[in-house]
């Protein structure tokens, strides 16, 4: 089985690469493998979208203020924004 066949049916590796890509640069080979997998796997495309959105929101939260506590209004708004993003497609 060639390297592209291995990634084509390997969601575990694809999700690992999605997570790795958020925190570090992935190699050209990893980029190609991930792109190939995502082309045929809708579940991992959704996972990538959700993970990216969650990462972005957490990043915004921590850079807004280190001492900020989440009030109920903010929590509801954040939950609503997450649900909206997940339901776009």
Our count of domains for the chain comes to 1
Q: What is the pLDDT of residue 50?
A: 94
User: Is 7 in contact with 33 (CB distance < 8 Å)?
Assistant: yes
Radius of gyration of the chain (CA): 16
Q: How far is CA 21 from the centre of its chain?
A: 9
Residue 59 domain boundaries: 3-86
Q: What is the pLDDT of residue 62?
A: 78
Q: What is the pLDDT along the chain (89 residues), one digit of tens a residue?
A: 555 566 667 899 999 999 999 999 999 999 999 999 999 999 999 999 999 999 998 888 877 655 566 788 888 898 898 888 888 76
């Amino acid at each position: 089985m060639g390297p592209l066949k291995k990634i084509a049916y390997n969601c575990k590796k694809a999700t690992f690469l999605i997570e790795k890509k958020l925190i570090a640069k992935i190699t050209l080979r990893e980029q190609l493998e991930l792109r190939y997998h995502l082309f045929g796997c809708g579940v991992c495309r959704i996972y990538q979208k959700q993970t990216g959105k969650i990462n972005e929101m957490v990043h915004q939260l921590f850079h807004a203020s280190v001492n900020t506590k989440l009030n109920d209004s903010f929590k509801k708004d954040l939950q609503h924004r997450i649900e909206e993003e997940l339901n776009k497609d």
